Each structure stands twice: as structure tokens, then as C-alpha cells.
Structure 1
Amino acid sequence: MPQDEFTKLFQYIQRMEAKIDVMAETMATKEDIQNILKRLDSIEKQLEISEDERLVMGHQLERLNRWVQELAAKIGYELTA
């Protein structure tokens, strides 16, 4: 292999190594991905809890409204919206 071709090949390999180094620096690790997945699981659980709490609060409000309506009827008071 002539010296000129060897030099070109060597320079090409150096450029490729530099590109690979840049890619390796910006690439997410398995640990990064695991951390993201854990955070997403945590957010999902919080949303499930919030949804359950809203459902319970809705039932409580319905029950409270029913009690108020019953009480108003017993004392002869007419509720208006």
C-alpha cells in the first residue's frame, strides 16, 4: 500500500473515531433509560391515585347533595339552582 493511500486511510479512521466518540457522548445509557422508565411509572401511579380520588370525591358530593335535598324536603325548604 503506497504511503499516500495509507495516510488517507489513517485520516478516514481518525474521522470515524471522532464521529463515534461524539455519538457515544450523546447516547443514552441503560441507566438513563431505566431512570426515565421509573419516573414514568411514578407519574402513572400518581395519575391513577388522582383519578381514584376524583371518583371518590364525586361519589361523596353526590351523597352530600342527596342528603341536602332530603333535609330540605323534610324541613319544607325549596332549593333553587
Structure 2
Amino acid sequence: MSALDTSATYGTFAEKAFLDEMARKRTGAALLSGYLAAAEKRTVWDAINKAEVLLYAQLLLNAGGAGETTCQSAAGPA
């Protein structure tokens, strides 16, 4: 295995954990949006299942947006 071969140590599970960390940040929605935009240009996925992680990122983004809407609704009109 060469020094550049990370497929044995980094894959879909690790990428999803990375996305989880992104989503937990206060700026999570912006970070996830940026990740999805950058993914269009990404050419090397190695052991990462591209379709799975992009769907997961979108689900996290949607869940974050739904949470913000719920909080705003609970607080009442602005």
C-alpha cells in the first residue's frame, strides 16, 4: 500500500462521521451546502460511496432546516 492509498482507512463511514461533525456546528447548514456544491467538482472518492454520502449530507441539511423552522414556529411570529 502506498502512502497515498487511504482506501483501507477512510471510507463511507468516516465521511459520514465528518458530515455529522459539520452538521453539529452553528454554521452547519452553510457548511453542508458548501460540501454539496464542492462534491460536484470532487473527482476522487476511493472507498467512499458517493451516492450514499451525498444523500446523507442532503438529509442532514434538510433535518437542520426543519429544526430551524420548528424553533421559529415555536417562538411565534417575529
> TM class, shorter-chain normalised?
0.3 to 0.5
Whose helix fraction is larger, Structure 1's or Structure 2's? 1
TM-score by length of 1: 0.36
Structure with more contact order per residue of length (Cα contacts < 8 Å, sep ≥ 6): 2
Q: Which of structures 1 and 2 has the bigger CA Rg?
A: 1
TM-score by length of 2: 0.37
